């Protein structure tokens, strides 16, 4: 039954990317919509063509007066799946599009696998599969993934988030060398995908998940807690060893880059303003795509994962440990995404290594969407199993409808300064589609 669920996920993903099969222009044309055509395609092409010619691309003589290619932390030179690109004499742009498709599917497959492991064994198999599929689809088509179809390395690294949490869960529940190595390999692959910001988000998620596991052991023998900490430490050491060929040159090059002396003004660019939180209720309110975006802040992903996802998340009542983890991580991701609008992001910029060289704090909604979809899977299973009452489901729908009306109206009103034009049609469309979805 799990294989059938994965097959369904793959089929839906292929339908979403139907232009790849029809030979038509893709959802994000190669002329814009991200870094794929302007940066990643030339970078990956240079790597693949150099390796195919029999050399290892440590140095790129074509960039400026020459640049250390292996030290570029977005070259993805050591990411194993990208070695497939060496099969082409000249790497076609469509190969990158296929990589996006496969990694978006992988993101959904990871969430599906995680939910299949977490949901109660007492639940009926078809209920568990249905809940896992729903959560997987919501996650892989959530805001960060859809917004960054044109940024392959963001999609690649973000796709490992559910897989990393799944391996962490298995390490806590089953233990043993097998899952220790699996966690290390998963995190190493995420790092080698070469998008440091997404990798930091995965690290944050694992810290929260590890802390939740330790908290659950607080009344058990101290030996179990020590063993769990030791396992995570060993996994980190193995990960460091596996990623050293990419990590060490990158660290050596870092002081030579602009990000080494990032000001807070630069690091806090693309924060989500409070009014932007209304975008979690509808992707239509502020306009879809850069050409239709009308708000007065820098366009950034706003964390939409589906109204039904929010409704189902409110119905989750089982698995209290997983719910606590998801609520804590999701809330943290949302607060960080507000960036300069709260002091939390500034504290992280000042005191946590890595965050002082990153901008676009709004992307931490990846963690929030991950948690919403995880809770939605639990909530759907509870609803199907009748663990959640029909009354609770009705109340949640009413509350969400009220939040939809109030939140979208407030976000629309606050989005631009007084006196500026506000497209009323966007508000009407967002509310209309939202209410129709809930009904």
Predicted pLDDT at 356:
86
Taking Cα atoms as reference points, which of 407, 369, 408 lies closest to residue 286? 408
Distance CA 400, CA 388 (A): 17
**19 Cβ neighbours under 8 A, 6+ residues apart:** 25, 26, 27
- Residue 332 domain flag: yes
Domain that holds residue 362: 274-438
Tokens for 421? 């034009």
- Residue 431 domain flag: yes
Decide if 172 contacts 95 (C-beta within 8 A): no
- Token look-up 């890595």 returns 354
- Residue 384 domain flag: yes
| DSSP string for residues in 380-439 | HHHHHTT-S-HHHHHHHHHHHHHHHHHHHHHHHHHSS-TTS---HHHHHHHHHHHHHHH-
- Residue 293 domain flag: yes
- Residue 308 domain flag: yes
Percent of the chain with pLDDT over 70: 95
Distance CA 301, CA 364 (A): 9
Helix, strand, coil percentages, rounded to 5, for the chain: 70, 0, 30
In total, how many domains does the chain have? 1
Predicted pLDDT at 197:
95
Decide if 161 contacts 193 (C-beta within 8 A): no
Length of the chain: 439
- Residue 287 domain flag: yes
- Token look-up 């190493």 returns 188
- Residue 131 domain flag: no
Tokens for 347? 């504290």
Predicted pLDDT at 224:
87
To the nearest 10°, report the CA torsion of 242, 165, 150, 49.
Answer: 20
Residue 144: exposure state from Cβ atoms within 10 A (0-12, 13-18, ≥19) = buried
Distance CA 150, CA 92 (A): 15
Decide if 374 contacts 322 (C-beta within 8 A): yes
Phi, psi of 93 (to 5 degrees): -60, -35
How many angstroms separate the Cα of 189 from the Cα of each of 2, 153, 174, 261?
24, 12, 22, 28
Which residues in the chain land under pLDDT 50?
Answer: none
H helix intervals, 53-159: 93-118, 125-140, 143-147, 152-158
pLDDT one-digit tens code per residue, 383-395: 999 888 888 999 9
Tokens for 385? 């199993």
- Residue 267 domain flag: no
Helix (H, G, I), strand (E, B) or coil at 60: strand
Rg for the chain (alpha carbons), in Å?
Answer: 22
DSSP at 270: T
């Amino acid at each position: 039954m799990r294989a059938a669920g994965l097959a369904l996920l793959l089929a839906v993903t292929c339908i979403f990317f139907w232009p790849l099969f029809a030979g038509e222009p893709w959802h994000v044309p190669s002329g814009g919509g991200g870094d794929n055509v302007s940066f990643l395609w030339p970078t990956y092409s240079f790597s693949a063509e150099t390796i195919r010619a029999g050399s290892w691309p440590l140095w790129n003589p074509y960039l400026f007066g020459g640049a250390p290619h292996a030290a570029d932390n977005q070259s993805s030179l050591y990411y194993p799946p990208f070695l497939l690109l060496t099969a082409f004499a000249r790497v076609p742009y469509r190969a990158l599009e296929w990589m996006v498709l496969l990694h978006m599917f992988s993101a959904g497959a990871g969430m599906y696998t995680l939910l299949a492991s977490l949901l109660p064994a007492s639940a009926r198999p078809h209920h568990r599969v249905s809940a896992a599929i729903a959560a997987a689809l919501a996650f892989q088509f959530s805001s960060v993934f859809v917004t960054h179809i044109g940024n392959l390395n963001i999609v690649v690294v973000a796709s490992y988030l559910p897989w990393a949490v799944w391996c962490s869960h298995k390490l806590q529940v089953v233990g043993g060398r097998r899952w220790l190595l699996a966690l290390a390999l998963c995190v190493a692959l995420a790092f080698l995908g070469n998008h440091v910001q997404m990798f930091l988000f995965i690290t944050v998620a694992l810290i929260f998940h590890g802390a939740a596991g330790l908290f659950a052991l607080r009344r058990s023998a101290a030996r179990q807690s020590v063993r769990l900490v030791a396992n995570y430490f060993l996994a980190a050491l193995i990960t460091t060893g596996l990623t050293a060929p990419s990590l060490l040159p990158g660290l050596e090059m870092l002081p030579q880059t602009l990000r080494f002396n990032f000001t807070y003004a630069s690091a806090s660019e693309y924060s989500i303003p409070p009014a932007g939180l209304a975008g979690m209720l509808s992707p239509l309110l502020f306009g879809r795509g850069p050409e239709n975006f009308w708000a007065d802040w820098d366009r950034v992903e706003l964390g939409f994962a589906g109204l039904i996802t929010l409704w189902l998340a409110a119905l989750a009542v089982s698995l209290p440990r997983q719910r606590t983890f998801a609520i804590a991580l999701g809330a943290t991701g949302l607060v960080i995404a507000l960036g300069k609008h709260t002091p939390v992001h500034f504290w992280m910029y000042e005191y946590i290594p890595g965050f002082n060289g990153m901008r676009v704090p709004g992307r931490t909604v990846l963690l929030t969407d991950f948690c919403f979809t995880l809770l939605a899977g639990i909530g759907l299973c509870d609803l199907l199993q009748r663990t959640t009452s029909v009354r609770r489901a009705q109340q949640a729908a009413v509350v969400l409808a009220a939040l939809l009306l109030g939140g979208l109206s407030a976000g629309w009103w606050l989005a631009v300064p007084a006196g500026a034009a506000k497209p009323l049609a966007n508000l009407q469309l967002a509310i209309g589609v939202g209410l129709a979805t809930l009904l």
